[in-house]
């Protein structure tokens, strides 16, 4: 039988963390009632590849957290090896055209919501974060990564032109020269390299410790007026958000044109097959 001691401990724990009522299918949202910080966990096995549905759920979660006046948002993954594998290549290879349009529009929506989020944002990068995974992490204000991870924007290696928001994210985090070279070379960095160039702010030995560091970062704003904070953030990011808005339709059309190209389809097919073969050998 459960002792009254352990029951009271459980009740205390239950009152600290609650799952948000409208938590969606592919993201889990948990709010710590003590700190007011919301954690969004990407939960699309096996590797959190960003398809239409995951992007939709992520957007809903970000907006919900923002509207509920949480104290901050932490983004992490339910997979202990992969934060996110980036865009789901199956959505780009031999795509349904309407779905491909939706995919890109949803990716744009998520970027706008996360990069422009009024709350303090942090990423607990508890696994690899290539391409779209890195895009999500660098949209946040603070990043902690685990040892032996890989992170970077490697689009160019797939023959894809990194969209403008990739550039904004890197310029916001890295010195211009380092950002340009990383994008043009499609570099994927190890944990140590990412820390050394400043792509991440810190390294933690476990997911729990990474989440703790993210909470500590968000807690640094406890005494700051939230409106003044968010308006100051917007002053830094507003020009990027405006330029993005003016180019979003063109970027959508470029993406659709790009993936419609026969050579691009051939390259994506080879790339996808290479990823699968790895597991067969
Ligand atoms: C102005 C606009 C101009 C046009 C611009 C056009 C496009 C720009 C797009 C920019 C935005 C973002 C783009 C992207 O995100 S593209 C996606 C790039 N992602 C990658 O290259 C990651 C590839 N994956 C990996 O490196 C690894 O899988 C890993 C993430 C490190 C995980 O490794 P591991 O734990 O060993 O897992 P597996 O490799 O065994 O993978 C498990 C299964 O998942 C499949 N897989 C992996 N990644 C993807 C993916 N991104 N999409 C779909 N499927 C993926 C893999 O094949 C395995 O499948 P299997 O179980 O059937 O073998």
Give the model confidence (pLDDT) of 176-231 as tens digits. Answer: 999 999 999 999 999 999 999 999 999 999 999 999 999 999 999 999 999 999 99
Domain count, the chain: 1
The verdict on residue 217 lying in a domain is: no
Which helix or strand (DSSP H or E) is residue 96 part of?
none
Any catalytic annotation for residue 132? yes
Residue 276 Cβ < 6 Å to ligand 1: yes
The verdict on residue 171 lying in a domain is: yes
Residue 10 pLDDT > 50: no
Q: Mapping DSSP to helix (H, G, I), strand (E, B) and coil, where does residue 130 land?
A: strand
Domain harbouring 38, CATH code: 3.90.226.10
The verdict on residue 220 lying in a domain is: no
| Confidence band, pLDDT 50/70/90 cuts, at residue 19 | low
Q: What is the pLDDT of residue 280?
A: 75
Any catalytic annotation for residue 87? yes
Q: How many Å apart are CA 153 and CA 131, to the nearest integer?
A: 4
The CA-based dihedral angle spanning residues 255, 260, 261, 265, taken in that order and rounded to the nearest 10 degrees: 100
Residue 44 Cβ < 6 Å to ligand 1: no
Residue 264 Cβ < 6 Å to ligand 1: no
Q: What is the pLDDT of residue 69?
A: 82
147 and 202 Cβ atoms separated by less than 8 Å: no
Question: Could you give the ipTM of this predicted complex?
Answer: 0.93
Residue 134 Cβ < 6 Å to ligand 1: no
The verdict on residue 216 lying in a domain is: no
Residue 133 Cβ < 6 Å to ligand 1: no
Any catalytic annotation for residue 245? no
CB atoms within 10 A of CB 208: 11
Specify the ligand 1 atom closest to the Cα of 133.
15
Q: How far is ligand 1, taken at its centre, from the CA of residue 99, in Å?
A: 18
Note down the domain range covering 190: 19-207+228-280
Q: How far is ligand 1, taken at its centre, from the CA of residue 86, in Å?
A: 6
Q: What is the pLDDT of residue 18?
A: 67
Any catalytic annotation for residue 199? no
Residue 70 pLDDT > 80: yes
Give the list of residues 6+ apart from residue 179 with CB closer than 8 angstroms, or none.
167, 170, 171, 173
Closest CA to 103 of 143, 172, 163: 163
For residue 147, give the DSSP letter: T
Give the model confidence (pLDDT) of 128-149 as tens digits. Answer: 999 999 999 999 999 999 999 9
The verdict on residue 222 lying in a domain is: no
**Could you tell me the strand order of the sheet in which 142-145 lies?**
17-19, 27-32, 37-42, 72-77, 121-125, 142-145, 202-203
For residue 78, give the DSSP letter: S
The verdict on residue 183 lying in a domain is: yes
Distance of CA 185 to the CA centre of its chain: 21
Residue 12 pLDDT > 50: no
The verdict on residue 117 lying in a domain is: yes
């Amino acid at each position: 039988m459960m002792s009254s001691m352990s029951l009271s401990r459980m009740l205390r724990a239950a009152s600290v963390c609650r799952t948000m009522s409208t938590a969606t299918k592919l993201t889990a949202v948990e709010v710590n009632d003590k700190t007011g910080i919301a954690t969004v966990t990407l939960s699309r096995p096996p590797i959190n590849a960003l398809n239409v549905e995951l992007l939709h759920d992520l957007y809903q979660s970000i907006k919900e957290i923002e509207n509920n006046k949480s104290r901050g948002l932490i983004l992490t993954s339910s997979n202990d090896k992969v934060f996110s594998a980036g865009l789901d290549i199956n959505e780009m290879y031999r795509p349904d055209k309407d779905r491909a349009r939706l995919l890109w529009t949803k990716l744009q929506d998520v970027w706008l919501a996360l990069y422009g989020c009024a709350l303090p944002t942090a990423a607990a990068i508890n696994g690899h974060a290539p391409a779209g995974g890195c895009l999500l992490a660098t949209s946040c204000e603070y990043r902690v990564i685990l040892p032996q991870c890989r992170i970077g924007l490697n689009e160019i290696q797939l023959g894809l032109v990194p969209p403008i928001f990739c550039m904004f994210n890197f310029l916001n985090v890295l010195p211009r020269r380092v950002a340009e070279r990383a994008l043009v070379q499609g570099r994927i960095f190890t944990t140590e390299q990412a820390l050394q160039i400043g792509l991440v702010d810190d390294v933690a030995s476990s997911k729990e410790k990474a989440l703790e560091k993210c909470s500590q970062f968000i807690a640094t704003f406890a005494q700051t007026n939230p409106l003044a904070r968010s308006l100051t953030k917007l002053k830094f990011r507003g020009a990027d958000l405006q330029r993005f808005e003016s180019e979003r339709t063109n970027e959508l059309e470029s993406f659709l044109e790009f993936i419609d190209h026969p050579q691009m389809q051939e390259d994506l097919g080879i790339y996808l097959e290479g990823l699968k073969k790895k597991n067969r050998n």
